[in-house]
Structure 1
Amino acid sequence: MNTASPHILVVDDDPALRELMSDYLLENQFQVTAVATGTEMNAVLQETVIDLVLLDLRLGGEDGMQLARRLRDVSELPVIIMTGKQDEADRVMGLEIAADDYVTKPFSNREMLARIRAVLRRYQSRAEASPSGHNVKRRAYRFAGWELNLLARRLISPDGTRVEISNGEFNLLLALCEQPQRVLSRDQLLELSRLHGAEVYDRSIDVQILRLRRKIEVDASTPKMIRTERGAGYVFEPRVDVLH
């Protein structure tokens, strides 16, 4: 599984519907996590970078509207609500609390897919139009299939596995992701990655770069992502996508 694919969180207490939606979204190159409760939803959001939540407002024993409201209060994450045919009041309330869209059950897979793609496009366009100095909290960086989760401080490989990295390696990779396709000197990287104390000397950057290359490069001896610019520093070559 490629972590560059958008990750959809489906929250619905109907196991058959969760399975159907998961299978269809996986077939259309999405990552999918499907859960039955608000508690499970919150646990996933703590550990995983999600691109969009598809939330049923009629969860058994839970107030889906309250879950949607709480989600909107703490996050700018795109939310599509699912309602029944007769639940017009729910649709209106859902949109009033700033849900991005809704689908009415029963819905076709194609309609659901079209709405998900449309909401994701709007969010992507908004992110690209925002000035670089905006204060929107960043949740993750994605590059070449890799994902750097800023909230959980985790590095996820293109096959979806977690790669262990030290605090220094994480901070250095974060600095590189924040300044892609730019030559950064050792002094700049020391400052940007906050490698201080016992590590505050020029060659500490070279050691950390070597360790990072061994973890993210196909061949660390001929690096393609973290390139050395002789006499100047290093360049992080991949395109980096920002998730807010």
Structure 2
Amino acid sequence: MASSILRCHAMPYSILFVEDDAELAELIASFLARHDLNVQIEARGDTALAAIAAAQPDLVLLDIMLPGKDGLSICRELRPVFDGPIVLLTSLDSDINQIMGLELGANDYILKTTPPSVLLARLRNHLRHARGSTASTPAPSGSPGHRRLGFGQLLIDPLSRDVRLDGHSIVLSTSEFDLLLQLAQHAGSPLSRETLLQATRGVGYDGLDRSIDVAISRLRKKLGDNPDEPFRIKTVRNKGYLFVPSSW
């Protein structure tokens, strides 16, 4: 498989839906198609990665229980080479599976019992955010939002979306990079979950969403932070998360 999967950004949005229940897949695909989303269905887990590479979708909608290879394994293998949203759509109402899915790089975890209109709204939100973060017109390189950020051995380039630590390239998903950039641009000031969710995903904090916590955990692991006593991205009680500029 190629080392990277590139996605085209021509309208309308395209979705590859990995689902082995043919009737359910057709029902959801037909509903989404009526709302201007192009949906391609792939029925097996062991052929999903090849199908994604060929289709270059804007978003991958992924069941967990699949023949050939399960959705969590697909998510783990896909995340390093696919920068678009990965949404798990499953009948498994399990906190453990939700945490695992988000840890492996999924952007969202949605139950199949969710009303179609809510599913549509959540998919559109992920698609808008992904396209906005990768296809927006770049500002001049000298503008504040696009200057390289340097903290000791850490270098963040907003234009190339490249992160290097001690000279080594750090592979981050789109959502992880956006989160790190927000934290680094406000280095020394704690940011709340609500602020981070709004800035990176365009959604409000409902008091239950743990996706920011999971993403912070992934960032700490990739950036060499101490998971037990973080010193680079600290948790500030009742305030949120703090990027420590002097710790790199």
TM-score by length of 2: 0.50
Query: Deviation at 1:108?
Result: 1.4
CA distance in 1, matches of 2:19, 2:63: 5
CA distance in 2, matches of 1:17, 1:71: 24
Gapped runs of 5+ residues in structure 1? 138-244
2:138 is the alignment partner of 1:113: no
Percent of paired sites with the same residue? 32
CA distance in 1, matches of 2:111, 2:123: 14
Query: Deviation at 1:62?
Result: 2.2
Gapped runs of 5+ residues in structure 2? 1-9, 142-158, 163-248
- Match runs of 1:72-91 below 5 Å: 72-91=79-98
- Match runs of 1:123-142 below 5 Å: 123-127=130-134, 128=136, 134-135=159-160
Asked if the contact 1:85/1:106 (under 8 Å) is kept, the reply is no
- Name 1:96's counterpart in structure 2: 103
Radius of gyration: which is bigger?
A: 1
- Name 2:27's counterpart in structure 1: 20
In structure 2, give the amino acid aligned to 1:57: I
Query: Deviation at 1:114?
Result: 0.7
Query: Deviation at 1:48?
Result: 2.0
**CA 1:92 to 1:135, structure 2 compared with 1: closer, same or farther past 3 Å?**
same
**CA 1:132 to 1:18, structure 2 compared with 1: closer, same or farther past 3 Å?**
farther
Query: Deviation at 1:91?
Result: 0.8
Aligned-partner SS, 2:47? helix
**CA 1:61 to 1:87, structure 2 compared with 1: closer, same or farther past 3 Å?**
farther
2:66 is the alignment partner of 1:41: no
TM-score by length of 1: 0.50
Aligned-partner SS, 1:39? coil
Asked if the contact 2:90/2:112 (under 8 Å) is kept, the reply is yes
Query: Deviation at 1:32?
Result: 0.9
Please tell me the root mean square deviation across aligned C-alpha atoms, in Å.
2.3
**CA 1:44 to 1:136, structure 2 compared with 1: closer, same or farther past 3 Å?**
farther
Structure with the larger RCO, 1 or 2 (CA within 8 Å, 6+ apart): 1
